[in-house]
Amino acid sequence: MNPGAGMRLSGLLKKEFLQILRDPSSIAIAFLMPLFLQLLFGFGVSLDADHVPIALVAEAPGPDSADFFASLEGTHYFAPQAMANMPEAEQALRRGDVKGILRLRANFAREIRQSEGAPIQLIVDGVDANTARIVIGYVEGAWGNWVTLRATRRGQDAHSPVTLQPRTWFNSELRSRNFLVPGLIAIIMTLIGALLTAMVMAREWERGTMEALMVTPASMTEVLLGKLGAYFLLGTGGLLLTVGLAVGLFEVPLRGSFWVLWGCASLFLLAALGMGLTISTLVRSQFVAGQIAILATFIPAFLLSGFIFDVDSMPPVVQAITHLVVARYFVAIVQTLFLAGNVWSVILPNALALALMATFFLGVTWRNARKRLD
């Protein structure tokens, strides 16, 4: 760096901060948006089905059917609704009022005492396959309890040949919020990184200030560093806010080291800001930069990062594509850091990938930001 670079850089940084302060929309993007999104998603997004409405149809009500249905009540899993007959229940299912129907046929009480046992019909609404599967799981659990209970009451031995003894690590109650909230940090910061920077270079071009900057002794590297430095600090502020909310409000345990999280988040921010700067440098028009930012950030980060859909279950081609999504690496890191701890075998390769992406995007920006107008 040539002499005077320090002064120029501090001047540029000061300018970026003043512009940020004067323009409430940057502040809104950096602080209000994470707050708003985190609250909305933290409360709004959950895969845990509670109080699933389910129709109970006993075609010949009696003590046996009542005994079985009693096993479904008193849990937070179901909100059972007794219905008189199947047409009524089917109508409710079609309307979406209930997610499933449990039907005990008229001869339930007789068959239950025969050796093959009685069939219990469970019909689920398969449109939302995931919820359907959860409902089936809940019903199976309730049914298993009922079988055991009934056998014990009769002094019989009713255990199945092999019993399943699941032990879930890291998230023993399987709270979906525990994995969604850390992932959200990655999604929100991708959005913010791109929004903050996607338009800043294009704006300097459109307002003609770029030409004035270019004729000063400041090099393009200094101009870029000024922008990166200011938005990096702003982004770090937003990041701290989201992490604070995750731990403080949503009670997600942070089992790994805060400083490791800090380090990885910085790498991630550099990559996300770098992506925004790249878009901004390459197109020079706010309109197109805006369109690309809409397309290239939120939905890919939402669907392809492993935030909600398991990357390993995607076809190989799609898995290859996910490697281009910056958020993917950070989602892996935050989910592990929050729930599992400092697992270096997960953190190191992903952090390396983030560092490479940051280098790539910043390199592209730097190469394209020449001090020439043509």
Footprint on residues 26-65 left by another protein (CB under 8 A): 28-29, 33, 37, 40-41, 43-50, 52
Site for another protein in 226-285 (CB under 8 A): 283
* By CB under 8 A, residue 7 contacts another protein: yes
* By CB under 8 A, residue 291 contacts another protein: yes
The single residue among 153, 167, 248, 259 that binds another protein, judged by CB under 8 A, is 167
- Measured CA to CA, the distance from residue 306 to residue 291 in angstroms comes to 24
The single residue among 110, 152, 257, 287 that binds another protein, judged by CB under 8 A, is 287
The single residue among 86, 233, 303, 355 that binds another protein, judged by CB under 8 A, is 303
Residue for token digits 């999104």?
A: 37
The count of C-alpha atoms lying within 13 angstroms of the C-alpha of 1, restricted to the half-sphere facing its C-beta, is 13
* By CB under 8 A, residue 1 contacts another protein: no
Length, in residues, of the chain: 374
Return the biggest CA–CA distance within the chain: 96
Please identify, using beta-carbon distances, which residue of 309 and 360 lies nearer to another protein.
Answer: 309
Please identify, using beta-carbon distances, which residue of 249 and 299 lies nearer to another protein.
Answer: 299
Residue type, 8: R
The single residue among 35, 86, 123, 247 that binds another protein, judged by CB under 8 A, is 123
Kindly list the distances between the CA atom of residue 294 and the CA atoms of 184, 280, 362, in Å, as whole numbers in the listed order. 18, 13, 20
Site for another protein in 135-164 (CB under 8 A): 136-137, 139-140, 143, 147, 150, 158-164
Select from 204, 183, 201, 161 the least CA-distant residue to 38. 183
- Measured CA to CA, the distance from residue 60 to residue 63 in angstroms comes to 10
Site for another protein in 59-118 (CB under 8 A): 68, 93-96, 108, 111-113, 115-118
Scanning 120-128, 246-254, 264-272, 355-363 for contacts with another protein by CB under 8 A, the matching segment is 120-128
Please identify, using beta-carbon distances, which residue of 220 and 362 lies nearer to another protein.
Answer: 220
In the sheet that holds 78-83, the strands lie side by side as 78-83, 52-58, 100-104
- Measured CA to CA, the distance from residue 146 to residue 69 in angstroms comes to 9
CB of 58 to another protein, least distance (A): 13
